[in-house]
Amino acid sequence: MATSRLLDSVVRALEILEVLDAEGELTNSKIAQRLGMEKSTVFRTLNTLRAKNFVRQDPETLKYSNSYKLFEMGHNVARRTGLPKQAFRFMRKLANTVNGAINLGVLDGDKVVYIDKIESDETVKVCMKIGQGIPLYCTGLGKSFLASMSHQAIKAIIGPGPYKSYTEKTITTFDQLALDLEETRKRGYSIDDEEHFRGIVCVAAPIYNAKGETIASLSVAVIKMYNGQSEIDFKFLGQAVYEAADGLTGSVGGQRPNHFLPWASGQGA
């Protein structure tokens, strides 16, 4: 959609919600400063959002923050997909097999959004919130989606690079990403080896619908420094998450496309 066709008032409201999501709590003046808007414009927009229960204002500090209404709406979207309910038994079984945090994510623009999780028994937990968005190119969940896309489609979503570096291991060029995704397709699961967060390893596999399209991704995340061994057993984690994702795919009436059958054909690495 062309930018000229967007409604300015709606864009302003959404930008305010996004800056409050990023910052937590802000005064009217700070929001105006962050977004380069007139204070009076921000004030009127906030009054509308507050009247519709999308934001609230602390009576003492006068700071604004997002309300739970946005969370409720997001939760309803996730609930209607039916995935969290159907995924729970597969996630629980996976959690009992591996000692890590189990996450379920769906594609949302250029990010993956968590829609369900099971916490790890580790003393130090992998703290990711339901509803939180993470990058596609440097996370296990994200690369599970990208692996089923063409180069053209990938560039249309995340651009040609270079990409933001989160750690010294982050993939920052498209050529590097393309090679990584080729390995992902061969293995049947994706690997984030401390690419997004230092000390955290994530292994993920895609979930498909009846057309063989990726509709979600399932992952296990472990704390590398607390794993209790010198090396991460990627093959063990990969096969476990692959089998769980494959079971969930069958449960939702999906089918894995022919180019993604490494374990079935004995090619798992």
At residue 71, the pLDDT reads 72
At 219 the three-state DSSP class reads strand
Q: Calculate mean pLDDT across residues 29-53.
A: 94
Cα of 217 vs its chain's centroid, Å: 9
pLDDT tens per residue, range 25-37: 999 999 999 999 9
Task: Quote the crossing angle between the two packed helices 174-187 and 151-158, to the nearest 10°.
Answer: 120
DSSP-derived secondary structure for 173-191: SHHHHHHHHHHHHHHTSEE
Note whether 244 and 205 are within 8 A (CB): yes
The answer to whether domain 82-260 has CATH 3.30.420.40 is no
Question: Is residue 218 within 8 Å of 87, Cβ to Cβ?
Answer: yes
Q: What is the pLDDT at residue 108? A: 87
Considering only CA atoms, give the Rg of the chain: 20
Q: Cα separation of 162 and 172, whole Å?
A: 5
Q: What is the mean pLDDT of the chain?
A: 86
> Quick one: CA dihedral 234, 249, 209, 262, positive or negative?
positive
Instruction: Mean pLDDT check: name the lowest of 131-140, 155-164, 253-262.
Output: 253-262
Residue scoring higher pLDDT (48 or 78): 48
Where are the domains positioned within the chain?
A: 3-67, 82-260
- Between CA 234 and CA 218 the distance in angstroms is 15
| Distance spanning both ends of the chain, measured CA to CA | 43
206 contacts 214 by C-beta, under 8 angstroms: yes
Tell the residue number behind the tokens 């209790």, with chain if given. 228
**3-67 — its CATH code?**
1.10.10.10
Cα 8 to chain centroid, rounded: 28
Question: Using 50, 70 and 90 to split pLDDT, how confident is the model at 81?
Answer: low
Q: Is the peptide bond before 162 cis (omega within 30 degrees of 0)?
A: yes
Residue 1 has pLDDT above 50, yes or no: no
Q: What would the mean pLDDT of 125-137 be, rounded to a whole number?
A: 79
Nearest to 21 by CA among 106, 133, 117, 141: 133
Identify the CA nearest to 183 among candidates 219, 220, 155, 143. Answer: 143
CB atoms within 10 A of CB 202: 30
The whole-number pLDDT of residue 122 equals 61
Same fold, 3-67 and 82-260: no
85-89, 91-95, 257-261: lowest mean pLDDT where?
Answer: 257-261
Q: Tell me if 101 sits within 8 A of 126, measured CB to CB.
A: yes
Residue reference for tokens 């591996």: 98
| pLDDT above 70 (res 79) | no
pLDDT of 269 over the 70 cut: no
User: Cα–Cα distance between 226 and 201 in angstroms, integer?
Assistant: 11
Q: Are strands 200-208 and 214-223 parallel, antiparallel or unpaired?
A: antiparallel
Residue 211 pLDDT greater than 70, yes or no: yes
